Amino acid sequence: MQAPVAAALPADALHEKKKSFRVESIDLLRGLIMIVMALDHVRDYFHADALLYSPTDLTQTTPLLFFTRWITHFCAPLFMFLSGTSAYLVGIRKGKNALARFLLTRGLWLVFLEMTVINFAWYFNVTFPVVDFIVIWALGISMIFLAAFIYLPLPVILVISLVMIFGHNLLDSIQVPGDGGDAIGWSLFHHQNIYFKGHFTLFVGYPIIPWIGVMSLGYCLGKLYTKGFPAAKRKKWLMGLGLTAIVLFIAIRYINQYGDPFHWSTQKSGVFTFLSFLNVSKYPPSLLYLLMTLGPALVFLSLTEGSRSWLSESIKVIGRVPMFYYLLHLYIIHIIALFATYFCGHTPGDMILTAWIEFEPKLKGYGFSLGITYLVWASIVVILYFLCRWYDRYKRTHQQWWLSYL
């Protein structure tokens, strides 16, 4: 499950008429990871093997399938990280009190959306048989915490962020058995789990401790984008920090002692040994997972600042309207999947889910090749681009209060 989302990032608030200020390299990176995010969700709903085994299961996967999943690992941490950076920029313009109110209300709104509109998009089931605490929930809760953190000195926020990111794997061995409130509470903070409560299933996919640290670390990065900070110096900082994170990932992963609950090991070939080295844990995101994804992202921000190509400008359109894209892409994918059932001996009713799609018993035998999956993904991205372009233009010419929440 990917998470998806770049949903309601504070950067949306930068779309005020006559006061617009955006960091276009951030829009570019956000748009790119949202395009990649759609690939993972299309794979969930269309690839036949998605119903049979995990794409990172080295005993069954192929290198192409592994990387189809692996590349989407960049999405969730960058959504969190960039939303923190955008929040810092909003705070400079509007002040901390206004930013805190915005983060608090936006965070609560995202949690509400996760449990209602987004939940329905995943399952198309009006009985809501599964309650998911996944990426939008984590994004919302992280914003609520950040609303309090912003009143602390920036060095203190930085220390808190680094302690969460570098130290949370020390908690891996702590487990709370059972399905009571204490067990569920611990899962919400640090331990992925599934709980069955009568006719409902409670799935905790995104424990919040490390995600809070990722967003607040992104908030600290916003200092580099303040007015008057030299662009050349910013690029050097981004490149240096990114390369440092990459080197730390390689070194710590090679030692094979800390930073991820699962160690890498020698496999049947050099290629699969390399895949094992990259196969780090997302739920919750391990230290190594975050170093592996945030490091290249910082390098990307350094290299793409000032990019003005046709392709980059098109991708930025998507990056400027993340929530709109996120909601639409889930519904479009699921609606197309309803019709796709006819080609696999199923009916649209089989796409009204009672469990996460990978575990839905009605869909046994459903699915398409990886090539078809990529074709569906590309087609959906094109459709979404034109819809996002229309909405982006609408936001630029209107000032309704609700636009900052969609």
DSSP codes joined into one string, 121-185: HHH--TT--EEEE-HHHHHHHHHHHHHHHTTS-HHHHHHHHHHHHHHGGGGTT----SSSHHHHH
**Could you tell me where the DSSP H helices lie in 231-309?**
231-255, 270-278, 287-304
Residue whose C-alpha is closest to residue 263's, from 332, 169, 192: 169
| H or E element, residue 88 | helix 75-94
- pLDDT tens for each residue of 193-236: 999 988 889 999 999 999 999 999 999 999 999 988 999 999 99
Q: Of 32, 5, 81, 1, which Cα lies nearest the Cα of 241? A: 81
pLDDT at 9: 44
Q: What is the pLDDT of residue 400?
A: 74
Query: Averaged over 275-280, what is the pLDDT?
Result: 98
Beta bridge partners of 194: 203
Q: At residue 277, does pLDDT exceed 90?
A: yes
pLDDT score recorded for residue 21: 58
HEC assignment per residue over 61-80: CCHHHHHHHHHHHHHHHHHH
Candidates 218, 201, 222; CA nearest to 210 is 218
Q: Is the pLDDT of residue 88 over 80?
A: yes
**H-only helix segments in 4-60:** 24-46
Is beta strand 130-133 parallel, antiparallel or unpaired with respect to 193-197?
unpaired
User: Cα–Cα distances in Å, from 198 out to 275, 277, 281?
Assistant: 39, 40, 30
Which tokens sit at 195? 């709980």
**pLDDT tens for residues 123-159?**
999 999 999 999 999 999 999 999 999 999 999 999 9
263 with 47: CB under 8 angstroms? no
| Predicted confidence (pLDDT) per residue in 10-47, tens digit | 444 444 333 445 789 999 999 999 999 999 999 999 99
pLDDT higher than threshold 90 for residue 298: yes
Provide the Cα torsion 25, 305, 78, 326; round to 10°: 20
Give the global pTM: 0.92
Our measurement of the distance from residue 297's CA atom to the centroid of its chain's CA atoms, rounded to an integer in Å, reads 13
Rounded Cα gap, residues 254 and 274, in angstroms = 11
Q: What pLDDT does 6 receive?
A: 41
- Three-state DSSP at 261 gives coil
pLDDT tens digits along 337-381: 999 999 999 999 999 999 999 999 999 999 999 999 999 999 999
